[in-house]
Structure 1
Amino acid sequence: MQLVAPGLVRTDEGGFHGPTLDDFFPPAIFFEGTPFEMNRIMIIRMVMVALLLLMFWLGTRKMRVIPGRWQGVFEFALDFVRKNAIEDQLGVKDGRRFQPLLMTVFFLVFVFNITGIIPGMNIAVSSVVGFPIVMAVVAYVSFIYAGIKKHPGKFLKNSLFPAGVPWPMYLLVTPVEFLSTFVMRPITLALRLLMNMLVGHMILVLLWAATNFFILEAGGIFPALGAATFAGGFAFTLFELFVSGLQAYVFTLLTSLYIQLALADEH
């Protein structure tokens, strides 16, 4: 058995083995059998959180009126998220209230997504279900908190019993509103992030493992196929970089939208 890289598939005795879900459940490295058990994915998460904190510290410790190169890049990223994913939905006033939360959501999802294309990590640590669920719960609590704080005593009632609907229709409308607002929103948020990153990892692993097999293991004309899978792997790596940012943006945008709907005057 030959290990291509952590998270990549292996070839064994001249055969080719495609990617499996085992990559998402690596063995424990530290504290096995305890509540603090840590595997490779958990270690990568901790490393990325530390790098994210370091990045924010370096980007804000010496702010200047005329930004330097690093500060300019940092401000561009912050302004893009603030204007497009936050203030376009919530406006300036409410956007500032929820900006710390939503900025944290965006950058945390992004750095957890981007690990799928970082050599040595080779897996998006957001592609294991626990993290998408936690982020969906954060979004869920946020929009319910926003709605109850803005419309105490009315948010839940108006969400489940929209005004202007004939009373007999509530037998149909209320269950639909409950499912769409309080059940499907967090579920779809979690599944969208999970499945995009999981499928991306599987395709990326398949392409690079096929490249390894065709060039190093197979003979005959197969190395020519390895060149094709190498090109495909390189192109899909760039695509995964785009998807990592896109999914972080979409998650933040939808969270902002749900908060905006909870703050709307009709509640």
Structure 2
Amino acid sequence: MGKLVLAEGGEFVPPGAKDFFLPPIFGGVTKPMVLLVLSVLIVAAFFLVATRNLKLVPGKFQFAAESVYNFGRNSIAREQIGAKDFRPFVPLILALFTFILVNNLFGIIPFIQFPTFAHIGFPLALSVLVVYPVYHGVGFRRHGFVGYFKHQCFPPGAPWWVYILLAPIEFFQKFVLNPFTLAIRVFAAMFAGHLLLLVFTLAGEYLLLNGGGLLKLVSPVSFAVAIALTFLEALIQVLQAYIFALLSASYIGMALAEDH
């Protein structure tokens, strides 16, 4: 992005990718690393406290935990994997959804204001090291080594000559591309959303303190846009956590399915 020159305040340098690389807090530990650990503690504490004293008629906290669990269990895992096979994967899908959700919401929480998954390494590690081995592992176990490759790369019903082109494409998509696209979706949304918030917030501050004449009047507009974007970003953060968990469950379901 370029530089905006104001009448009295010199140059405004808008934020960019460099602002996402935060200096270490101590040693080699950065803020995103601390937030990642904090998110695990928050999710664990939430479910431990909510289930410590279960009641037949749930209180508000228990009801919230049960709602999150039922959403992950029934609306994601069961729908995508199928009623026959979904139960062993409920903990994984629920953990993915809640873990990503908390890390995304860090981006709009005051004094934290950094979505952890705006660093590509975190969603990529989750996709490549967790989701990818799980869905291919269960696929190989269900169909066997050769059977699974046939299941993934040779969808039934196509003429034999189509497989010459189709099989390499299916292999590349299922075994190479999927884990990267899964990670890039959430990363791109968190990076772009947080960058927009930074642009309008810092621009509003700069216009207010350094803008000349009528430019100071634009400052409240910039702040208003930042507030509106915060609510939009909250929706996107929840949606991206849902999409990541949904696609993970979908990949598991496709790996286990008898038909392609």
The answer to whether residue 180 in structure 2 is matched with residue 187 in structure 1 is: yes
2:15 alignment partner AA = P
Gaps of 5+ in 1: 1-12, 32-36
What's the counterpart of residue 171 of structure 2? Answer: 178
Q: Secondary structure of 2:82's match?
A: helix
What's the counterpart of residue 246 of structure 1? Answer: 239
What's the counterpart of residue 227 of structure 1? Answer: 220
Q: Once the two structures are superposed, what CA deviation does each residue of 1:193-251 show, in whole Å capped at 9, x if it has no partner?
A: 11111001100111111121122332422232111111111111011111111000001
2:201 alignment partner AA = W
2:169 alignment partner AA = V
The answer to whether residue 101 in structure 2 is matched with residue 113 in structure 1 is: no
Q: Secondary structure of 1:183's match?
A: helix
Q: Secondary structure of 1:15's match?
A: strand
The answer to whether residue 209 in structure 2 is matched with residue 216 in structure 1 is: yes
Q: 2:55 aligns with which of 36, 39, 64?
A: 64
Whole-Å Cα distance in 1 between the matches of residues 259 and 26 of structure 2?
52
Q: CA deviation at 1:62?
A: 1.2
What's the counterpart of residue 23 of structure 2? Answer: 27
Whole-Å Cα distance in 2 between the matches of residues 14 and 54 of structure 1?
49
What is the correspondence of 1:30-49 to structure 2 with a 5 Å cutoff? 30-31=26-27, 37-49=28-40
Whole-Å Cα distance in 1 between the matches of residues 218 and 97 of structure 2?
38
**TM-score, length basis structure 1:** 0.88
Q: CA deviation at 1:23?
A: 2.0
Sequence identity percentage = 35
Q: How many aligned positions are there?
A: 250
Whole-Å Cα distance in 1 between the matches of residues 219 and 72 of structure 2?
39
RMSD: 1.7
Q: Secondary structure of 1:126's match?
A: helix
- After superposing the two structures, state which structure 1 stretch, 246-255 or 131-140, moved more: 131-140
The answer to whether residue 141 in structure 2 is matched with residue 149 in structure 1 is: yes
Closer, same or farther in 2 for the Cα pair 1:158/1:118, shift >3 Å? same
Q: 2:70 aligns with which of 42, 57, 79?
A: 79
Q: Once the two structures are superposed, what CA deviation does each residue of 1:17-60 show, in whole Å capped at 9, x if it has no partner?
A: 201112221122222xxxxx201221222222222221121111
Q: 1:204 aligns with which of 179, 188, 197?
A: 197
Q: 2:131 aligns with which of 136, 139, 142?
A: 139
- After superposing the two structures, state which structure 1 stretch, 151-160 or 201-210, moved more: 151-160
Q: CA deviation at 1:159?
A: 1.7
Q: Secondary structure of 2:86's match?
A: helix
The answer to whether residue 253 in structure 2 is matched with residue 257 in structure 1 is: no
Whole-Å Cα distance in 1 between the matches of residues 119 and 187 of structure 2?
7
Gaps of 5+ in 2: 1-8
2:13 alignment partner AA = H
The answer to whether residue 91 in structure 2 is matched with residue 100 in structure 1 is: yes
